[in-house]
Amino acid sequence: MTAGTPEITLEGVSRWYGEVLGLNEVSAEFGPGVTGLLGPNGAGKSTMLKIICGMLKPDLGKVRVCGRVPFNRARVMRRIGLCPEQDAYYPKASAWAVVTYLTRLHGFTKLEARTRARHALERAGLGDVLGSSVAGFSKGMRQRFKLAQALAHEPDVFILDEPLNGLDPHGRKQYSDVIQELADDGACVLVSSHILHEVDALARRIVVLNAGRILADGSAREIREDLSKFPLQVRIDTAEGGRLASTLVTLDGVSKVELTDHGAIVITRDAGLLLDRMGTIAAESNIPVEAVVPLDEDLESVFRYLTQ
């Protein structure tokens, strides 16, 4: 009996850690393609992924992976490939040996598992260090190793928890390409991150989590549009903050200008317009501007707005 479409369903899933609520009545469905899970530390991303992988049991609600409950159900694990967040490795064993062993647990013969392991390690960019101990790997190489062990048995549900941490730009590109290939092949890929642009580049759909709840769910563009409803802060460093402030208050979208020791902080609903016009305003008014720094680009601000 051939298995159906790779899909994940969560219905009203809650999970407590003692008195702390890790996940709060989360309902979502994930199908083929890349979905980014975005949230600050402690948002509940890892909890959600661990529940999906069957490592944690939800206190309330239902989880299904390819139609089956994942907690302590080995059968469904044939289809899951997990790249865990934590560094986990056998100190003395080579990358090839470990991936071969883990692939054998899927029922492959030793020879077949070795071939698959080698292929997966090459695909992850570790072809040159197959026989090296994982203990000697850099952080980025360990991320690739974790990807390889998730790839070797060709699952169609991928759970990647903070996979790009510690990778250099070249590694990120390679890793992202592999994720894209998996999605193109029809796999369901869940990628968690706390870095907005990282998820933005990878996923068509983004689910924003904070304090165990889903705050936003949609394409990167839809989420940006949601965010544009909220005022953003821009810091402008200049020696003539007072003169600049009197000019900026007349600009569309600007709701407030606060003077500081180094210039001014402008609160605007249209940061794009402000950044576009800043150069012209400075030139026309003959005000020397040293720096223009958006203060709300960080993810914490995004979550602050979304929780308002």
Residues engaged in binding other proteins (CB under 8 A): 1-4, 17, 50, 53-57, 66, 72, 74-75, 77-82, 84-92, 101-102, 104-107, 112, 115-116, 118-119, 122-123, 125, 127, 149, 153-154, 156, 159, 174
The answer to whether residues 258 and 265 touch, using CB atoms and an 8 Å cutoff, is yes
SS3 47: helix
* Ramachandran angles phi, psi of 178, nearest 5°: -65, -45
Q: Tell me how far, at minimum, the Cβ of 71 lies from other proteins, in Å.
A: 9
SS3 300: helix
Question: Is residue 130 within a helix (H) or strand (E), and if so which, with residue range?
Answer: none
What is the C-alpha separation between 147 and 158, in angstroms, rounded? 10
- Of residues 84 and 163, the one with the C-beta less far from other proteins: 84
Distance from chain centroid for Cα 133: 28
> For residue 269, what are the CA distances in angstroms to 228, 247, 275, 286, 301?
7, 17, 12, 25, 14
Q: Tell me how far, at minimum, the Cβ of 199 lies from other proteins, in Å.
A: 21
Strand stretches in 93-187, DSSP E: 157-161
- Of residues 107 and 279, the one with the C-beta less far from other proteins: 107
DSSP strand pairing (157-161 vs 80-83) = parallel
- Of residues 38 and 49, the one with the C-beta less far from other proteins: 49
- Of residues 177 and 300, the one with the C-beta less far from other proteins: 177
Q: Tell me how far, at minimum, the Cβ of 86 lies from other proteins, in Å.
A: 5
- Of residues 8 and 244, the one with the C-beta less far from other proteins: 8
Q: Tell me how far, at minimum, the Cβ of 77 lies from other proteins, in Å.
A: 5
Q: Tell me how far, at minimum, the Cβ of 141 lies from other proteins, in Å.
A: 14
